[in-house]
Amino acid sequence: MNNNNNPIGMIDSGLGGLSLFKHIRQALPNEDIIYFADSKYVPYGDRESDWIVSRTTHLISNLVAQGKCKAIVIACNTMTAVAVETIRAQINVPLIAIEPAVKPAVAMTMSKHIAVLATATTVKGKNLKSLIETYAQDIKVSLVPCIGLAEKIETGKAHTAEVKDYLKNILAPLVEQKVDTIILGCTHYPFVSDTIQEIVGRDIQIIEPSEAVTAQLIRQLNQYHLSSESPNEGNHIIWTSSDPLEVADVTFSWLCCINIQKLSSPQSIQI
CATH number at residue 30: 3.40.50.1860
Residues 47 and 169 in one domain: no
Task: Select from 164, 153, 160 the least CA-distant residue to 189.
Answer: 153
Q: Which residue has the higher pLDDT, 44 or 181?
A: 181
Kindly report whether the global pTM for this prediction surpasses the value 0.75.
yes
Residues 156-212: pLDDT tens digits? 899 999 999 999 999 999 999 999 999 999 999 999 999 999 999 999 999 999 999
* Residues ≥6 apart with Cβ < 8 Å to 173: none
Domain extent for 254 = 8-98+211-262
Domain annotation covers residue 108: yes
Domain annotation covers residue 236: yes
pLDDT of residue 179: 98
DSSP 105: H
**Highest mean predicted confidence (pLDDT) among 62-66, 91-95, 266-270:** 91-95
Domain annotation covers residue 61: yes
> Looking at the predicted structure, is the pLDDT value of residue 257 above 90?
no
Q: How far apart are CA 25 and CA 22, in angstroms?
A: 5
* Domain end point (choices 164, 188, 208): 208
pLDDT of residue 238: 86
* Domain end point (choices 185, 208, 231): 208
E-only strand ranges, 98-246: 113-118, 140-145, 181-184, 205-207, 236-240
Domain annotation covers residue 2: no
Give the count of domains, the chain. 2
From the annotation, which residues make up the binding site for substrate?
12-13, 44-45, 77-78, 187-188
> Looking at the predicted structure, is the pLDDT value of residue 122 above 60?
yes
What residues act catalytically? Answer: 76, 186
Q: Which residue has the higher pLDDT, 255 or 224?
A: 224
